[in-house]
Amino acid sequence: MTSPSASLVQSAKTAGARMADRGTPFVFNEWYAAAFSDEVSRVLLKRTLLGKRVVLFRTQDGRPVAMDDRCAHRSYPLSAGAIDGDTIVCGYHGFRYDDRGNCIQVPSAAKCPKGIGVRTYPVVERGPVVWMWMGRSDIADANSIVDLSWLTSDRWVRVKVYFHLKSSYVYLCENLMDTTHLSYMHASTIGTPDYASAPAQTEKSSGRFALIRTVSPTRLPPIWAKPAGLEGVSTAARIVRGEFMSPGVFEFTTRLYDGAVSECSRSEYRIKVAHMTTPETAGTTHYFILMARDFAHDDRDVTAFMTKGFSAAFQEDVTGLTLLDEQIGHFGHDAYEISVPSDELGVLMRRYLRQRSLDEHGIADSTADAATEARPISESS
């Protein structure tokens, strides 16, 4: 029986201390998906985002509004009140708030006392997503919302899926960064045995981490092969680029084609997926997914087939990450993670998340003087 040596465990713990985990304070100065656009309506939507309870609704001219879900009077949830025009009326004593969160009427008082209100948050609607900024409002810049122009382009046919995930968003982000799990966690859906060991390139820049994996030649699983007309083809190519774009967004682009056909005459099929990883609480995540293809635009059977197949695959992640988060919670301080070279991007991404959190909250880095450098375990160690 092999048990990790005490020094290896200590090294793993030291490395782990430098990575974000389920206990790392959220990064607030960032845009997150708060809701799919069609969820925000003239009905009050109650939602917890980054540990805060908020309420969302649309004004009469269609503008999304988000504010704290807590009446300034006695903390009654505003989401249990009512929309009246562009205002919310609290369901307890009737305090009325306008769309900027100002209390403009107190029914029991002849004149509304000044200075009462609730916090509102910057929200921006882009195609099917309502983005929200919950950090310092003076630095909220809509230009920093990640560019996902395909979400609003007619060239792509889109479907959406949502999961309420019982896991920290950190583990979801690492799961998305680490596609070596496809051959195992998704063995019967989107994975193939050759996926985990296929050659991969990495790209690293400030706050962006990308992995490009080339699986070729390969035999595609039905979920990819059928819509692309590549069933039974043993010379297929599957090129996947997955990028961590922000703490709340991953983008995947998959290109499929028959590698035996020359570049100038082959058909290429592209599928894009935006994974939006919005923390709800320390141990739960709103997992919004938008998936799009640039072929078979009007084929509803392809839409139904892909939606069903990919939903089943993403459910595998949700089930697996629920197990993982529960397991890590169970072991608490005894938990440690031993990394291998393929974890490099996941480790860098989790260090980045932690550093963003430390910087934002003004927390001193207690691991800065750690004697052991926190690197993925090298091939030779």
Query: Rule CB under 6 A: which residues touch ligand FES?
Result: 71, 73-74, 76, 90, 92-95
Considering the complex, what minimum distance in angstroms separates the CB of residue 106 from ligand FES? 8
Chain Cα centroid distance, residue 65: 22
74 interacts with, out of ligand FES, Fe ion, none, CB within 5 to 8 A per kind: ligand FES
Task: In whole angstroms, give the CA distance from residue 288 to residue 290.
Answer: 7
Considering the complex, what minimum distance in angstroms separates the CB of residue 122 from ligand FES? 24
Considering the complex, what minimum distance in angstroms separates the CB of residue 185 from Fe ion? 6
Contacts to Fe ion from residues 308-347, by CB under 5 A: 317
Comparison of 95 and 352: residue with beta carbon closer to ligand FES = 95
336 interacts with, out of ligand FES, Fe ion, none, CB within 5 to 8 A per kind: none
Strand order in the sheet with 64-68: 45-49, 52-58, 64-68, 120-121
Cβ burial 153-174 (10 Å sphere, 16+ → b, else e):
eeebbbbbbbbebbbbbbbbbb
Comparison of 92 and 295: residue with beta carbon closer to ligand FES = 92
Comparison of 72 and 185: residue with beta carbon closer to Fe ion = 185
Chain Cα centroid distance, residue 351: 17
Comparison of 108 and 381: residue with beta carbon closer to ligand FES = 108
Select from 62, 34, 2 the least CA-distant residue to 276.
34
Q: Which token pair is 322? A: 């629920």
317 interacts with, out of Fe ion, ligand FES, none, CB within 5 to 8 A per kind: Fe ion
76 interacts with, out of ligand FES, Fe ion, none, CB within 5 to 8 A per kind: ligand FES
Name 87's bridge partners. Answer: 84
Task: In whole angstroms, give the CA distance from residue 299 to residue 317.
Answer: 27
Task: In whole angstroms, give the CA distance from residue 347 to residue 212.
Answer: 17
22 interacts with, out of ligand FES, Fe ion, none, CB within 5 to 8 A per kind: none
Q: Is 117 exposed, middle or buried (0-12, 13-18, 19+ CB in 10 A)?
A: middle
Considering the complex, what minimum distance in angstroms separates the CB of residue 53 from ligand FES? 14
Considering the complex, what minimum distance in angstroms separates the CB of residue 108 from ligand FES? 9
Q: Does 243 bind Fe ion (CB under 5 A)?
A: no
Task: In whole angstroms, give the CA distance from residue 161 to residue 272.
Answer: 14
Comparison of 67 and 170: residue with beta carbon closer to ligand FES = 67
Count of other CB atoms within 10 angstroms of residue 206: 5
Considering the complex, what minimum distance in angstroms separates the CB of residue 66 from ligand FES? 18
95 interacts with, out of ligand FES, Fe ion, none, CB within 5 to 8 A per kind: ligand FES
Q: Which amino acid belongs to residue 96?
A: R
Considering the complex, what minimum distance in angstroms separates the CB of residue 102 from ligand FES? 14
Q: Which amino acid belongs to residue 380?
A: S
Give residues in contact with Fe ion (CB under 5 A). Answer: 317
